[in-house]
Structure 1
């Protein structure tokens, strides 16, 4: 079961944000800080403020003294520093985690809310073992074609992904919402038996109190013909001081951002997607129907048949969103 505490990566980001804020409030540039405390490289401060290095408590204490941090804030940030540097509990909680999967698990475990959209795949937190194995094996094969040494052991990856999913069953787990594309639930994604099990699993998940699924039908118009550029996830954390995080999936490269303006653009996009998609109840009906048809007969078309008539939908007119 994933730990119900913020992860080290979140603590590092929180610490970095607060240290940068304190430095700016003190009217100091990065170069001035380096000169005053005698560090050899400006990159050390940059990595610390951007949450990219494990913080040393002594270094943080020196910075807090320089910035004249209030006693209560100083104590709080030193506690966060200790949490940011302790990876032992996390390694024990995820004994089979690969480095990539651990990064996703760290983001997910400290969340109060997760929102995901994927135009071509079922998100990892919703995948069955069979679907996950197929996705991982095919991705590793593509990576190995360019670099034979690339990719982790598939079974380790599968166990890691399934281990992350227990997050949704936790009593204090996050509120999870996903927008699924109809195309992602078609025959192109996997063999019929794997797809049938995946659809049945989605039906079960959709009935959990903290899980909401929306289906975006193939020909649905999103606002003024908005087209989502790629798969993305939005994370809001239990600690309100931790910045909301955007993760953009780009095939073999994932990009993360806590820049408020960027995160907000994708939050608006997610609202548009939810407004255009089927409601949660209509999505569940579609999933049950599609699962039943796959179970009873082999569908002859290249996509899974849903209900013959999609329920009427209300759509909100969006504001302006810059596509990237």
Structure 2
């Protein structure tokens, strides 16, 4: 069964709606917090930025301050309930670290997903053996990572591609991601064959970006992995996530999202065709 609407997306949408309501009421953060008796503006700021799971009582108080009419109020309460993560979400996602949980929430609620990876195979496309190697490598930066739990979580996320209402998924892999450096030959062969098998799924597109292929006129390819998510409800903010070594940057403003969507289109234009990608992956699987 599909998971409910993604809480992380609903938090971003709720925050944007509440921020707009406050500005329409010509109130500052300080004035709102003073009326509600909140000790500082940080609580309201985090709600508006979608950085915290909102308490429904706090949302009701804010709607009262902004004198929101009944129809709009009811719609916002529905969004607020989605934003306040419930226990069924956590059970459905299983045991995950905070970074993986954010990706899982975005993936589970998405209608479309685009991923660009310059050096590795994306998590949704990894075999268990390959995923374990990647998680183990991550322990160099975070020795507290539970390799077994994190590997199980990463492979559990992949169920999203096999649901009845699975999102349309597109991945562009730089040719460097097909290198098997650090992976035993049998692990990489299994991974390459798995990629070929995934290209047969109607909702999955995988394309390889060759070394030196010009992207929008430049042969210097982006070095930072990123993912783009769009959702069934067009009012939910399209989201871009930039992956770094220690944390992930989530972007939801329209100008930022448009830039990365344009970059995604340029990468697709420069990548090999679907047939050529399958041929290349098949060759890797046999070498």
What's the TM-score bracket when you normalise by the shorter of the two chains? over 0.9
SS of alignment partner, residue 143 of structure 1 = coil
Matched residue, 1:229 = 223
Deviation at 1:8, TM superposition (A): 2.0
Deviation at 1:40, TM superposition (A): 1.9
Aligned counterpart in structure 1 of residue 274 of structure 2, from 273, 280, 291:
280
Unaligned runs of 5+ in 2: none
Instruction: Work out whether residues 143 and 151 of structure 1, in 8 Å CA contact, stay in contact via their aligned partners in 2.
Output: no
Matched residue, 2:22 = 23
Deviates more, 1:25-34 or 1:198-207: 25-34
Deviation at 1:189, TM superposition (A): 4.9
Work out the CA distance in 2 between the residues paired with 1:215 and 1:277.
5
Aligned counterpart in structure 2 of residue 171 of structure 1, from 161, 164, 171:
164
Deviation at 1:7, TM superposition (A): 2.3
Aligned counterpart in structure 2 of residue 218 of structure 1, from 191, 211, 223:
211
Deviation at 1:224, TM superposition (A): 1.8
Deviation at 1:37, TM superposition (A): 2.7
Deviation at 1:61, TM superposition (A): 1.2
Work out the CA distance in 1 between the residues paired with 2:10 and 2:18.
12
Aligned counterpart in structure 2 of residue 152 of structure 1, from 145, 156, 161:
145
Instruction: Work out whether residues 228 and 269 of structure 1, in 8 Å CA contact, stay in contact via their aligned partners in 2.
Output: no
Deviates more, 1:110-119 or 1:59-68: 59-68
Runs of 4+ in 1 over 3 A off after TM superposition: none
Root-mean-square deviation (CA, aligned residues, Å) is 1.6
SS of alignment partner, residue 230 of structure 1 = coil
Unaligned runs of 5+ in 1: 145-149, 295-324
Alignment of 1:245-324 (within 5 A): 245-291=239-285, 293-294=286-287
Instruction: Work out whether residues 235 and 246 of structure 1, in 8 Å CA contact, stay in contact via their aligned partners in 2.
Output: yes
1:109 counterpart = 2:102: no
Aligned counterpart in structure 2 of residue 195 of structure 1, from 188, 196, 199:
188
Work out the CA distance in 1 between the residues paired with 2:202 and 2:266.
23
SS of alignment partner, residue 256 of structure 1 = strand
SS of alignment partner, residue 137 of structure 1 = helix
Deviation at 1:174, TM superposition (A): 0.8
Matched residue, 1:64 = 63
Instruction: Work out whether residues 26 and 67 of structure 1, in 8 Å CA contact, stay in contact via their aligned partners in 2.
Output: yes
Deviation at 1:124, TM superposition (A): 0.3
Work out the CA distance in 2 between the residues paired with 1:136 and 1:230.
19
